[in-house]
Amino acid sequence: MGNSDSALISEKQLEIYQLETFFTRKEILRIYESFADLNPDKVREAFLAGNYQIKMDYGEVTQLSELKFSPFKDRICRVFSEDLSGDMTFSDFLDMLSVMSMQAPKDLKAAYAFKIYDFNDDGEIDRTDLDELVNRVTGFRMKTEDVDGIVDEILKECDMDENGTLTPAEFEDILQKAPEFSANFNIEV
Amino acid sequence: MDSEEGIVHSNEAAIELDTDDETQPILSKEDDLGDKGLSNDHAHLSTDRYGTFYPGPKTFTLSQRRVLRRTQRMQFKELQSGLRRKDQVSTKFTKFIDDSMKKMNEIQRNHFRIWGSSIKHIQGHLGSGVCTYFKVIVWLLKINLLCMILALAFIVGPGSYMANNHAQHPAQESLYNKDDLECTNPNFVNGTGFHHDAVDSVLQFLTGTGWMESTAMFYGWYPTSNLTMHVHGKEKTTYNFSLAYFTVGISYFFLSLLFMLYNLSKLFNKSAAEQFDTKPYSSKVFTWDYGVTDTGACEQQSVRFIQSLKEGMTEDAQEGVKREFSAKVGIVFLRIVTNIICLGAMVGTVYLYVNQILTDSSELQSTDSCGKLTQPLDDGLDIDLGNLTNTEIKENLSAFWSTYSASIIVSGSNVILPIFFQLVGTFEMYSFQSTMIGITLVRMFIMKLFNISVYLYILYIAVGPSGGQLEEWQTPDNTLIYNCWENYVASQLYQLVMVDFIVFCIALLCSEVLRSYLVTNISFLRDRLGITKPEFNIAEEILDLVHKQMIFWSGFYFAPLFPVVAVLEVIAIFYLKKISALKNVIPPKTVVLNHQSTFAVNCLFLISLLIVFVFMGLVIFNFHPSKTCGPFRESAWFSDPFSHVIKNSGKFKSYIVDSLKTTSVFIILVIVVCLVIYYYRSLASSRKVTIGLLRQQVKDEIADKKFLLDRVKVQDSNNNEDETKIEDLKKSTNLRKKELQRKISRAHGFAS
């Protein structure tokens, strides 16, 4: 942390970031530090040249300690990157951490959680998505009959219009009743 | 719904923001959609009827999506900044409060983030459940720090300044009679008092008697005079020290109370909103803990998920465990017996130390007018390690025991009884694991509360005769009177804190360090017996913290340096627990981490504070301050300085204060509070009814939708049938047309 680093992001830029995310100035600078640590030379060069759209590859982003071992790291990177490839710019990175910070409201988190858990990106969470979700959460250790049983239970509990899929609204409703959600859906840098 | 209207509001705001923002180094030229471009685009967005934006990932260009995300973020920020619902009045006052709350939160986040990196480290290894325990420690630290700053600034600072200025000799010798000082503790026999040997001094440091009494630690040392200061040579302002002491003493409690009520009010909102129909499976599956970052911890999380899901499934299967009538009666009887046993254990420990405190005092002989003992005590505190005979050892041990017994029993029972309760719980044959855990926790809490309350009450009784005396030193029937009873109370509590901390360290060593060392090194235990590293039991640890904080609170008034001790102990607990937790402990299997449980924890703190409140109120307002020590030695009551100030500050103020004390004001206040409560309660119940109706409406709508879909299907299939019929008819008419044409052409051919 030094004055040289904070000069790489202009004041106007910092203000815009503060407007758009839930972070304060100090926190944005700290996040910049961890972003830069992923590949220091590349990032510093680019920012000095004024190129703020520099992208970090998926491989580099997942070096972040909070993402390294998470079973959802591919989905997180994909959802938050602009071109859905998993490569993130600094703005995407900030966006991701802002949504997954303590200050983000529950609805925003629920909306993004929906996107993360929608593995086939079709706008709804159906049986295949839920299968994949339960498998990832249990580390692929459960037998298929058990997984099917759990998916049945979940659909019974959540699916209000009983069409076999979860819409964003139903998903949000469920998460209202799961109080640990906002505490657990957090990544702090 | 809230979010719908909120988004409607911020929709407009977002559009305005966008058009105002001209210089955007983030966006490149191709993103410039123009002034109206964005609002047009909104029409194409897939908004479902709840108004949540869900830009389909494949339907928009990169730039459009970027802009969309920005607007989405800003909308949510607007939401968060507290846009009020349409039916709530948004005045300047409420806006001002909202803004100041936001600023306070920001300041707290930026500057007062204590131990943030440690907590994050722990969260990475052990999950957010264990993390809440450490956050409670941080919260306690903040309360104690606040009290410490108050005490140091207003009491200890001026007190020591005054003491040093008034004396040429060390403070304690000139402020009051040395004879008087000896009167404070009956064990204090040696006239030259402050020169015991090293072992003695250490022991006295632990008990808070002897040389400790003449330090700033305890009440007795503080002077009674007022501090006069010259301001620019003209006016003399006086710092009324006794008034300051009294006010600060009362304000400890009010500040802590305000702090806790503020937290409670924030939580109550959220905890009451939690619905009672919980969804066990979805709430487990969708709430993966993203904060866990260690690879081993992630795997453990998956394993725990599997276990809890399986337990959920077996519990469902077990729901109707039906027992026969005779078995039921047997179980009820068994549970009554076990409850009596637990009560008996609690009362037994209480009896032990009550006995100790009361007999401890009565072993001593009566005192003369200054409290000098007419019969020499065995100076049990002098342990001469040189020559010890058997009887001497016995005497020393018994004296040791008599001084420390009460605190040892209280702290020891805190450690031993929970284990006992758990054993009892396993015998009671509850059908669910969770009920057993819940009941054990309730018993533990009652035990701790009971212990401390009785301890405080016994102190109150022990000090009663001394505190009741205004003039006489000695009651006719020779009951013991402490001539500086405040010091006695303070030293007992100080002793309790010290012993409690030592017992805590020993328990930590045995239960965590020793066990994990044995488990890792002796494979027999691990493989054959299946003993693992200890599990971090969050609820028990938090109850322990409640217990400790209760002791701290009760000592604040009589020992101005107590908050410093409290702060040091809290810091020590944090680091010890952190080191032990990171190495020796596995995370707990089931974590119930909702707002209701946090609310319950806050309520526990509140209950303990209220009990301490009652004790302090009784002591301060019922007893006369002692004559030989402390800032109140010239007053008849502790509240005297306060009433003096009121009387001297003019008729109007004293009139107000007098009328405030009358009952009519109290009754009016009570009535106003009741009305406010009634208003909010009726509002809440009407909203509940509305929620029920809306739910029913949703269900009906779904049924309607299904019905209509079915009808559409039927119509469709009818339509299809009709269409096929039309097709068939068309085909047949075409065929017939062709036949007819052939016939006509043949007829023509024949004709020509």
Higher pLDDT, B434 or A62: A62
CA atoms within 13 A on the CB side of B612: 28
> Which residues between 79 and 118 in chain A have a beta carbon less than 8 angstroms from any beta carbon of chain B?
82-84, 91, 95, 98, 100, 103-105, 107-108, 111, 113, 115, 117
Structure tokens at B227: 């501090």
Residue B477 pLDDT > 60, yes or no? no
Taking 70 as the threshold, does the pLDDT of residue B204 lie above it?
A: no
Closest CA to B635 of B178, B224, B83, B42: B224
Q: What is the predicted pLDDT for the residue at B81?
A: 55
What does the alpha-carbon distance between residue B270 and residue B596 come to, in Å, rounded to a whole number?
A: 8
Contact B353, A189 (CB under 8 A): no
Least confident piece of the model among B370-379, B415-424, B497-506: B370-379
Q: Compute the distance between CA of residue B666 and CA of residue B657 in angstroms, rounded to an integer.
A: 13
d(CA B361, CA A124): 75
Main-chain dihedrals φ then ψ at residue B577, nearest 5 degrees: -65, -35
What is the sign, positive or negative, of the torsion defined by CA atoms of B67, B69, B75, B80? negative
Work out the average pLDDT over B454-473: 70
Mapping DSSP to helix (H, G, I), strand (E, B) and coil, where does residue B188 land?
coil
Element (H, E) at B152: none
Helix, strand, coil abundance in chain A, percent, nearest 5: 60, 0, 40
Q: What is the pLDDT of residue B198?
A: 63
- A58 interfacial to chain B (CB closer than 8 Å): no
ipTM higher than threshold 0.90: no
Provide the CB-side half-sphere exposure for B252 (13 A, CA). 35
Q: What is the pLDDT of residue B197?
A: 61
Instruction: Round to whole Å and give the CA distance between B309 and B307.
Output: 5
For the record, the structure tokens of B268 come out as: 């109550």
State the pLDDT confidence band at B520, using cuts at 50, 70 and 90.
confident
Query: Chain B within 8 Å of A54 (Cβ-Cβ)?
Result: no
Q: Which residues of chain A are within 8 Å of residue B65 when distances are taken between CB atoms?
A: 82
pLDDT in tens, B210-231: 566 666 677 766 766 666 665 5
Asked whether the beta carbons of residue A138 and residue B305 sit closer than 8 angstroms, the reply is yes
For B276-288, b where at least 16 C-beta lie within 10 A, e where not — what string? eeebbbbbbbbbb
pLDDT at B721 over 60: yes
pLDDT attached to residue B570 = 93
3-state SS class at B470: coil
**Residue B718 distance to chain A (closest CA, Å):** 24
pLDDT in tens, B609-638: 999 988 888 888 888 777 666 777 777 788
A183:B50 CB<8 A: no
Q: No. of H helices and E strands in chain B?
A: 25, 2
Contact A18/B at CB under 8 A:
no
A153 vs B128: CB contact, 8 Å cut-off? no
pLDDT of B1 > 50? The answer is no
Helix, coil or strand: residue B74: helix
Q: What is the pLDDT of residues B579-614, one digit of tens each?
A: 888 888 877 766 666 667 778 888 889 999 999 988
With CB atoms and an 8 Å threshold, state whether A179 touches B50.
Answer: no
- Pick from A38-52, B4-18, B248-262: least confident: B4-18
CA distance A138 to chain B (A): 5
Q: Mean pLDDT across chain B, nearest whole number?
A: 72
Angle at the Cα of B590 from the Cα atoms of B588 and B593, rounded to 5 degrees: 100
Task: Examine the pLDDT at B367 and tell me if it is beyond 50.
Answer: no
Alpha-carbon A179 to chain mean position:
19
Pairwise CB contact (< 8 Å): A174 & B282: yes
- Which residues 146-185 on chain A approach chain B with CB closer than 8 angstroms? 146, 149-150, 153-154, 157-158, 160-162, 167-169, 171-172, 174-181, 183-185
CA distance B746 to B734: 18
Chain B CB within 8 Å of residue A12 CB: yes
Give the C-alpha distances (Å, rounded to integers) separating B233 from B228, B230, B237, B418. Answer: 12, 5, 11, 64
Q: How far is A40 from chain B (nearest CA, A)?
A: 21
DSSP run (H or E) holding B238: strand B235-239
For helices A90-99 and A25-38, the axis angle rounded to 10 degrees is: 120
pLDDT tens string B688-716: 899 889 878 887 888 888 888 888 888 88
pLDDT confidence bin for B681, thresholds 50/70/90: very high
Check if the beta carbon of residue A41 is closer than 8 Å to that of residue A13. Answer: no
**Is pLDDT above 90 for B569?**
yes
Tokens 């001497």 sit at which residue?
B392
Interface test with B, best of A22, A63, A138, A155 (most B CBs within 10 A): A138
State residue A163's pLDDT score.
75
**CA separation for the pair B201, A135 (Å, rounded):** 64
Of the ranges B343-357, B466-480, B723-737, the best mean pLDDT one: B723-737
Query: Are residues A178 and B302, on separate chains, in Cβ contact within 8 Å?
Result: no
Q: How far apart are CA A75 and CA A77, in angstroms?
A: 5
Q: In terms of pLDDT, which residue wins out, B476 or B569? A: B569
Separation CA B661–CA B22 (nearest Å): 64
**What is the per-residue pLDDT for B4?**
38
- HSE of B655 in the Cβ direction (CA atoms, 13 Å)? 3
pLDDT at A17 over 70: yes
The model's pLDDT over B386-426, given as tens digits with 9 standing for 90+, comes to 444 566 666 666 666 766 777 888 888 888 888 888 888 77
Phi, psi of B269 (to 5 degrees): -50, -50
User: What crossing angle do the helices spanning B562-584 and B538-555 adopt, rounded to 10°?
Assistant: 170
How many Cβ atoms from other residues are within 10 Å of residue B445's Cβ? 20
Q: Determine the 3-state secondary structure of B630 from DSSP.
A: coil
Q: Which residues of B touch A75 (CB under 8 A)?
A: none
Asked if pLDDT for residue A116 goes beyond 70, the answer is: yes
* A chain contacts of residue B7, beta-carbon cutoff 8 Å: none
**Coil vs helix vs strand at B236:** strand
Instruction: Give the percent of chain B with pLDDT over 70.
Output: 63
Using the predicted structure, report yes or no on whether residue B323 has a pLDDT greater than 90: no
User: Chain A closest CA to B224's CA: distance in Å?
Assistant: 49
Q: Which of the two residues, B80 and B548, has the higher pLDDT score?
A: B548
Instruction: Choose the closest CB to B52 out of A22, A52, A111.
Output: A111
Q: Which position has the token pair 């200050």? A: A103
Cα B406 to its chain centre, rounded Å, is 28
Of residues B54, B73, B109, nearest to A95 (C-beta):
B73
Residues of A in contact with B299 (CB under 8 A): 139
pLDDT over threshold 60, residue B665: yes
